[in-house]
Amino acid sequence: MNRLKLLRETKRVMQKDLAEYLDVSPSALSNWEAGRTQISTEYLIKLCEYFGVTADYLLGLDTELKNLHELHTHRTNENNAEFNQYDIDMVRDLEAISALYDSGHLTDEEFKVAKRKILNLQ
């Protein structure tokens, strides 16, 4: 799972809603999330601002989710993407199970079940 999708799912933002906010098609966002196309600098900046993360984190160059809560203290709730400690813990848990899945230690079904539990989905 790439970090864009992880952040979007953690905040329970629908793909169509984030695409609308960015003024791109849902298929463009889907392609970014799947790694089929690269995110342009313009949209990378918008996504970093929206989620309050660094470009290094979003691109996978920085493995730590550093000071995420501090990055959000100056932002307003206009896009409802503020993170709290629960969200930060959820992102870390999703990253952990994603790493297990990517390394072949979880089956597709085990990954889906674990992800649903972390996201508190029925």
pLDDT digits (tens, 9 = 90+) for 69-122: 444 443 444 444 556 677 777 877 888 888 777 778 778 888 888 888 887 764
The tokens for 85 are: 């400690």
The one-letter amino acid code at 91 reads: V
Closest CA to 13 of 91, 79, 63, 66: 79
Distance CA 106, CA 100 (A): 6
Q: What is the pLDDT of residue 21?
A: 93
| pLDDT classification of 64: cutoffs 50, 70, 90 | low
Distance CA 46, CA 12 (A): 18
Q: What is the pLDDT of residue 83?
A: 62
Q: What is the pLDDT of residue 47?
A: 92
